Structure 1
Amino acid sequence: MRPNALGRAVIGLVATAGIAAGGLAAASPGYAATAPAPQPAVNAQPAARPAAVLATENFGLTSAEAKNVQRFLADYWGYTGAIDGQLGTNSWKAFQRCLAQYWGYTGAIDGDPGPNTIKALQRLLKDSYGYTGAIDGIAGSGTRAAFKRFANA
């Protein structure tokens, strides 16, 4: 006996449901839904300072000397931050632009005064500010003394 239209529809639904159920049961981990990533707990207290704020690095300059450097950077190298005597990320980005233009700095303009920034700074200081040490990327006492002379020029 042949099933009528209603019977064929029921058989089709049962078959579809069985295939779907079997397909889910045999699913490999590649097809399984991933669990949501755990979310950090919300802190009711506001952060003391934004996470993006980086430390300043004055390399021994006083606040007044660092302000002199920031004025130089504002006049010639696109520094638009506060003249606050704190050589932070934006101060160093402007300085890196200067060092890239004239003193062989080839790193990222990222505001991080790391060894490559210091090497370029040492080349500048050796040329005109009495630095006599090695171009080694270490801001030792000779680099710091010459940087003070630069800041006070």
Structure 2
Amino acid sequence: MRPNALGRTIAGLIVVAGLTAGSVATAGTSFAATATTARTAAAAQPAAAAATQNFGLTTAEAKNVQEFLADYWGYTDTIDGQLGTNSWKAFQRCLARYWGYTGAIDGDPGTNTIKALQRLLADDYGYTGAIDGVAGSGTRAAFKRFAA
């Protein structure tokens, strides 16, 4: 091999080694990015679910709830039939005052909010299930009666 050819061969091997190392590094990075993206997407799901949670109410029924919240509990947002964060904040104020809700007024209809809602629904709207914080079929049916 001539010296010039030898130099090109060595340079070529270095490039191939660099590309291979870069591919391995990129593979590890792309795997990590995919895992991070998957975790981020999974974490975003509850937030999206919490953004609007009608628990089986139609738009018209949810508008009735928003009108009740506007009349009595400081709801000032649009009456659009989508029980979002501001609707649930207003509902949590009601539930805190009369139905034993002790959590944050954060607009997230989580377990404690649902337990307080179930107490309200058990008192006047025919809910007979457990006060368990799960918005199952009995809770949803009683919530529809509340919203009617």
Query: What's the TM-score bracket when you normalise by the shorter of the two chains?
Result: 0.5 to 0.7
Letter in 2 for 1:75: D
Q: Corresponding residue for 1:93?
A: 89
Letter in 2 for 1:92: W
Residue deviations 1:33-91, cap 9 Å, x none?
xxxxxxxxxxxxxxxxxxx9852000000000000000000000000000000000000
Structure 1 stretches lacking a partner, 5+ long: 1-51
Structure 2 stretches lacking a partner, 5+ long: 1-46
56, 67, 79: which one pairs with 2:52?
56
Q: Structure 2 CA distance, aligned partners of 1:149 and 1:55?
A: 23
* Residue 69 (structure 1) aligned with residue 92 (structure 2): no
132, 135, 140: which one pairs with 1:144?
140
- Secondary structure of the structure 1 residue equivalent to 2:129: coil
**Match runs of 1:119-134 below 5 Å:** 119-134=115-130
Q: Structure 1 CA distance, aligned partners of 2:59 and 2:133?
A: 23
Q: Corresponding residue for 1:106?
A: 102
Q: Structure 1 CA distance, aligned partners of 2:57 and 2:87?
A: 14
% identical equivalent positions: 87
Q: CA deviation at 1:145?
A: 0.0
TM-score by length of 2: 0.67
Q: Corresponding residue for 2:131?
A: 135
- Secondary structure of the structure 1 residue equivalent to 2:51: coil
Residue deviations 1:113-144, cap 9 Å, x none?
00000000000000000000000000000000
Q: Structure 2 CA distance, aligned partners of 1:149 and 1:136?
A: 19
Q: CA deviation at 1:111?
A: 0.0
- Secondary structure of the structure 2 residue equivalent to 1:107: coil
- Structure number with greater Rg is 1
Q: How many residues align?
A: 101
Aligned-CA RMSD value = 1.3
Residue deviations 1:92-115, cap 9 Å, x none?
000000000000000000000000
